[in-house]
């Protein structure tokens, strides 16, 4: 019985860890390194002009949420946070995607995923 309780705690811990938000940055080949900036200073733009150089690609995911689109603001904030950490001045975002992550008492729970390209002026 003791082993079963430990196993259940391990499974519960893994589920909690999987519910968190996350993100990653992949630098563009040969991209210059820039000093970090505040996430509030990162602009969301429709496209980057010729005065910009691409610094990299960003992926972000929200925590688990009900099927109400609640993860979109969280993911955009994460994209801007990661972009700021890498010195990006602007990001061009793809449409967010919601994936079924789990169910809880019959209620579907989702995670929102979004990608962006980040840029800085030359």
Strand 22-27 versus strand 43-44 pairing type: unpaired
DSSP code string of 52-88: EEEEEEEEEE---B-TTTTHHHHHHHHHHHHHHHTT-
* pLDDT score for 20: 59
Q: What's phi and psi for 35, nearest 5 deg?
A: -70, 145
Q: Give domain status of residue 41, yes or no.
A: yes
> pLDDT by residue (tens digit) across 33-84?
999 999 999 999 999 989 999 999 999 999 888 877 678 899 999 999 999 9
Domain of residue 26: give its range. Answer: 21-121
Q: What's phi and psi for 21, nearest 5 deg?
A: -80, 160
Q: Give domain status of residue 1, yes or no.
A: no
Q: Which residues of 43-73 are buried (b: 16+ CB within 10 A; e: fewer)?
A: eeeeebeeebebbbebbbbbbbbeeeeebbe
The closest of 79, 62, 78 to 70, measured between CA atoms, is 62
Strand 52-61 versus strand 22-27 pairing type: antiparallel
Q: Give domain status of residue 15, yes or no.
A: no
* pLDDT score for 69: 66
Q: Give CA–CA dist 71/66, Å, rounded.
A: 9
Q: Is the pLDDT of residue 12 over 50?
A: no
Overall number of domains in the chain? 1
pTM: 0.79
DSSP state of 20: S
Q: Give domain status of residue 4, yes or no.
A: no
Q: Give domain status of residue 16, yes or no.
A: no
Q: What is the CATH number of the domain that holds 82?
A: 3.30.110
């Amino acid at each position: 019985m003791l082993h079963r309780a430990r196993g259940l705690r391990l499974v519960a811990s893994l589920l909690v860890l999987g519910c968190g938000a996350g993100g990653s940055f992949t630098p563009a080949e040969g991209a210059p390194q820039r000093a970090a900036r505040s996430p509030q200073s990162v602009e969301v733009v429709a496209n980057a002009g010729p005065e910009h150089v691409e610094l990299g690609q960003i992926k972000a995911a929200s925590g688990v949420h009900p099927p109400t689109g609640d993860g979109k603001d969280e993911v955009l904030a994460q994209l801007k946070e990661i972009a700021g950490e890498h010195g990006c001045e602007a990001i061009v975002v793809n449409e967010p995607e919601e994936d079924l992550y789990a169910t809880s008492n019959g209620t579907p729970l989702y995670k929102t995923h979004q990608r962006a390209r980040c840029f800085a002026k030359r």
